[in-house]
Amino acid sequence: MATPLKRVRGLGAAHHGTETFWRQRLTAVANVPLVIFLIWFVVAHAGASYGTVKACLANPVVAVLMLALIWSAVIHMRIGLREIIEDYLHHKLCKTASLMLATFFAALVGIASTLAILKISFGG
């Protein structure tokens, strides 16, 4: 039985309320213009030489937009994976291991992608 205070705080059975819901929506909204930018970038550079694409990615504005896309997508992916794992895995050990693997996978994707963009941006 939820108390009125608990209803006001928005805490449910997971005890983290609507924070995850809003973070998922925020990253989804952020991903829309960032993915449009990515599609434009790919289409605009289709058939371009490696040097041309590398030079364009070295532009600070392009690099920041790509990094924003990477981290917004990684956070969005991590939240989605967490929700699926929490909803459909019921064995505690399996759930814990899966949550850890999902977190490590998301971090690995984000770090590897960030390092690739930074290497292109700062030369190497």
The pLDDT value recorded for residue 120 is 87
Task: Indicate the pLDDT class of residue 27, thresholds 50, 70 and 90.
Answer: very high
The pLDDT value recorded for residue 21 is 84
The pLDDT value recorded for residue 76 is 95
In the numeric block, which tokens belong to residue 72? 């917004």
* Contact between 19 and 83 (Cβ < 8 Å): no
The pLDDT value recorded for residue 78 is 95
Dump pLDDT digits (tens) for 28-42.
Answer: 999 999 999 999 999
Dump pLDDT digits (tens) for 35-89.
Answer: 999 999 999 999 999 889 999 999 999 999 999 999 999 999 999 999 999 999 9
| Nearest to 82, CA basis, from 31, 39, 36, 19 | 19
| Nearest to 78, CA basis, from 36, 27, 8, 4 | 27
The pLDDT value recorded for residue 77 is 95
